[in-house]
């Protein structure tokens, strides 16, 4: 009874495969339900990895086309929105532009110019202490949680993507964020995308997930697929991990309502 709600489309400029190819891959993988969530447009051309400001109607139409082509298969409509302080109003604007099943919140930008997962900026990791970079990431993530703008929150420790880690116990970074998530009733994503990156580890780490479970924070398991072959990527590993940690449920999303479903 698995789902995958974090799938991209070629509109973002760094994903391949039409929506129908993702649907076919999902059916092949035995998923009962999927959802698309491409990177949100910004008010102006912001960077080179999202749809242009005027392409939102095109995105909505491409998902509607897939829904029409596969009427007996549940295809949800979502959007992965960057949380950038000062653009909260833009997220509220986007929330009104379609009948979304969910909005995903994501932190990529830790300063207005630095998307921390972008290999273009790898040199910056040598110019600043890793501790400071992690702190900036988790501070922004905590602000995102407190904004309550989103239905679930993507790849919680994305900042580890290239394998840079501070010394010692990392719980000092994620504890305040998890406390905020528990208080806000937020849902966290468990993402297998990290297994495809240098860090070769699920987002979030096991310790992080244990701490989330202790706070009863609900989860959703996704692949962040940027190609049809990545749909449900290494889901067996993710389901094993969350079960070992103690989770018995994952969340489903429809019309911006989250519903828990038992893990088989």
CA distance 87 to 178: 23
| Shortest-Cβ-distance residue relative to Zn ion | 224
**Interacting residues of 229 by C-beta distance below 8 A, sequence separation 6+:** 25
Q: Min. distance of Cβ 12 from Zn ion in angstroms? A: 6
In the chain, which residue ranges form alpha helices assigned H by DSSP?
19-28, 56-69, 88-95, 130-147, 171-184, 206-214, 235-245
Q: What share of the chain is helix, strand, coil (3-state, %, to 5)?
A: 40, 20, 40
Tokens, residue 71: 């009427």
> With respect to Zn ion, which residue has the nearer C-beta, 194 or 218?
194
Contact pattern from residue 173 through residue 212 relative to Zn ion, giving x for each residue in contact according to CB under 5 A and a dash for the rest: ----------------------------------------
Contact pattern from residue 63 through residue 102 relative to Zn ion, giving x for each residue in contact according to CB under 5 A and a dash for the rest: -----------------x----------------------
Site for Zn ion contains 157 (CB under 5 A): no
Report in angstroms the alpha-carbon separations of 92 from 33, 61, 86, 87, 117: 26, 21, 12, 9, 25
> With respect to Zn ion, which residue has the nearer C-beta, 187 or 211?
187
Q: Min. distance of Cβ 2 from Zn ion in angstroms? A: 18
User: Which listed residue (33, 82, 224, 230) binds Zn ion by CB under 5 A?
Assistant: 224
Phi-psi region of 262 (alpha: psi -120 to 50; beta: other; left: phi over 0): beta
Q: Determine the number of helices (DSSP H) and then strands (DSSP E) in the chain.
A: 7, 11
Site for Zn ion contains 117 (CB under 5 A): no
Let me know: does 245 contact 207? Beta carbons within 8 Å: no
Residues 9-28 that bind Zn ion (CB under 5 A): none
> With respect to Zn ion, which residue has the nearer C-beta, 117 or 211?
117
Q: Min. distance of Cβ 13 from Zn ion in angstroms? A: 9
59 phi and psi angles, rounded to 5 deg: -60, -50
**Residue tagged 């394998």 (tokens):** 163
> With respect to Zn ion, which residue has the nearer C-beta, 133 or 154?
154
Q: Min. distance of Cβ 171 from Zn ion in angstroms? A: 26
> With respect to Zn ion, which residue has the nearer C-beta, 225 or 241?
225
Q: Min. distance of Cβ 30 from Zn ion in angstroms? A: 22
> With respect to Zn ion, which residue has the nearer C-beta, 82 or 224?
224
Residues lying near Zn ion in the complex (CB under 5 A) are found at 80, 224
């Amino acid at each position: 009874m698995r789902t995958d709600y974090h799938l991209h489309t070629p509109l973002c400029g760094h994903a391949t495969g039409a929506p129908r190819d993702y649907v076919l891959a999902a059916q092949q993988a035995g998923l009962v339900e999927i959802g698309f969530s491409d990177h949100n447009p910004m008010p102006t051309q912001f960077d080179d990895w999202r749809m242009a400001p005027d392409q939102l109607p095109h995105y909505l139409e491409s998902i509607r086309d897939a829904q029409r082509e596969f009427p007996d298969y549940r295809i949800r409509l979502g959007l992965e929105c960057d949380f950038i302080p000062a653009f909260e109003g833009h997220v509220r604007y986007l929330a009104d532009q379609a009948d979304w099943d969910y909005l995903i919140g994501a932190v990529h930008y830790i300063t207005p110019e630095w998307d921390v997962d972008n290999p273009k900026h790898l040199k910056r990791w040598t110019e600043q202490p890793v501790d400071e970079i992690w702190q900036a990431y988790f501070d922004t993530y905590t602000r995102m949680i407190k904004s309550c703008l989103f239905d679930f929150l993507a790849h919680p420790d994305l900042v580890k993507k290239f394998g840079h880690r501070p010394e010692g116990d990392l719980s000092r970074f994620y504890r305040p964020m998890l406390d905020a998530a528990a208080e806000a009733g937020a849902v966290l994503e468990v993402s297998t995308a990290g297994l495809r990156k240098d860090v070769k580890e699920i987002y979030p780490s096991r310790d992080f997930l244990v701490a989330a479970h202790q706070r009863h924070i609900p989860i959703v398991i996704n692949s962040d697929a940027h190609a049809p072959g990545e749909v449900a990527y290494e889901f067996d590993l993710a389901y094993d991990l969350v079960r070992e940690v103690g989770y018995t449920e994952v969340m489903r999303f429809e019309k911006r309502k989250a519903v828990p479903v038992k893990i088989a």
